[in-house]
A and B are shown apart, each in its own frame.
Chain A
């Protein structure tokens, strides 16, 4: 660690890299946490770089705007892009609307849902359809590929479904560092965040290596498939439930790239 920090220290002395927003914010807000070398690095760069000086002013002004504390009336405005402001409904109307929605939902559930039919909101008569229900299959691994609810129909949102799609922070870090692969292994298919169907074709640029290990994991990093692959492509044909998945390519026992895809 000491050698690592020595190298870091050397970089601080020699680097001309532009300052990150974090570096400037740390200098402005918690300078006492920085080491002398880090402070000198920031100040030295600000002296010579007009772009970073401008960035510094941006952060300074932004900090003042961000911390403009609301008054006691508690405006509850939320800024959205384009300067449009959305005013939240006051508490009275919010609770009334919530109560009304609950009553309507209860009425639909108890009186209208019968024999797996859903009554559509529009006036056209429609054939009965299968409710998009039982979102976990019996093994609990994923949701069934049921009928996709058409626009205009109610369907219950299952919290478990959202869980299958939530991102894995650690693996997301690896994805962001894909470009640092020393052997230049690079993902070609599926692209990051593609939605795919089974069978899935995985393709990557080899970068001077011929034998790889491909692992597919779910969003909890639980391995679902792992095998050696010769060459730069692989066709996966087994079943995968709906959700977010990551796939890893290893070469010579070292993790080279991580990709991710969705299955719906």
Chain B
């Protein structure tokens, strides 16, 4: 599906996707307005940008369900980011928060089970980037990527899919380049991996 068609069918006013995004945005309007998305159109465009990365060549049984499911997920991605921005703003500049805001604040006061400074990449952030990246993979790449997350040995992957090790290594190399490109586009430093090598 081309981006133009995707937009026409799911993101133009009156469509199912548009209605989902619109309802979601205005439900959390006061949060989005003060953090990342003061305008609905920016919110809509950001979700469209993420969804347009979907690789439609993969074997999708129900395209509409897949896209609307992805839209709901991307709405929550933005919600998580907005909550985080708000949390950061609160902790950096507590004097900017009006008393009335705190009562109706969307900030969740969950106590972290892993307390500590936010210097490390949090698992939720990795989860978010990894799963948004997965949208751009075809079926074979997605399976391979999930196998790597599940820490399945290369030999076992090769046996499972009846390929030789060289083919698996080549595909892993291509995946690596794709993943690095994606992270760079998101603004991460490519030295992110160096820490783990």
Contact = CB atoms under 8 A, between A and B. Distances in A.
A30 B69 contact: yes
A196 interface: no
Contacts of B70: 29-30
A172 B118 contact: no
Interface in B126-158: 126-128, 130-131, 134, 142, 145-151
A176 B85 contact: yes
A179 B119 contact: yes
A38 B149 contact: yes
A5 B124 CA distance: 14
**Chain B interface mostly:** helix
B97 interface: no
Interface residues of B, number: 72
Given A29-B72, A66-B20, A179-B119, A173 B142 contact: no
Interface string A166-186: 010111111010111110000
Contacts of A38: 127, 131, 149
B141 to A, nearest CB: 12
B112 A3 contact: no
A1 B176 contact: yes
Interface stretch (A13-21, A101-109, A129-137, A152-160): A13-21
Contact of A11 (B84, B92, B93, B126): B126
Interface stretch (A77-85, A90-98, A232-240): A77-85
Nearest to A4: B196
Contact of A17 (B122, B192, B193): B122
**Chain A interface mostly:** helix
A31 to B, nearest CB: 9
A81 B30 contact: yes
B103 to A, nearest CB: 14
A30 B66 contact: yes
A63 B187 contact: no
B70 to A, nearest CB: 7
A172 B128 CA distance: 17
A172 B73 contact: no
A248 B147 CA distance: 39
Nearest to A187: B92
Interface string B83-96: 01100110011001
Contacts of B4: none
Interface string A1-43: 1111111110110011111111111101110011111100000
A30 B185 CA distance: 24
B72 A17 contact: no
Contacts of A70: 19
B118 A171 contact: no
Contacts of A20: 76, 80, 124, 127-128
Contacts of B117: 179
Contacts of A30: 66, 69-70, 73
B84 A176 contact: yes
A119 interface: no
B35 to A, nearest CB: 9
Given A15-B114, A17-B113, A30-B70, A37 B16 contact: no
A151 interface: no
Of A1, A21, A80, A179, the most chain B CB neighbours within 10 A belong to A1
18 contacts: A1-B148, A3-B193, A11-B126, A16-B113, A16-B114, A17-B124, A19-B124, A22-B124, A29-B68, A35-B150, A38-B127, A63-B72, A65-B23, A69-B16, A79-B22, A176-B84, A182-B119, A192-B92
Interface of A: 1-9, 11-12, 15-26, 28-30, 33-38, 51, 59, 62-63, 65-67, 69-70, 74, 76, 78-81, 167, 169-174, 176, 178-182, 191-192, 255
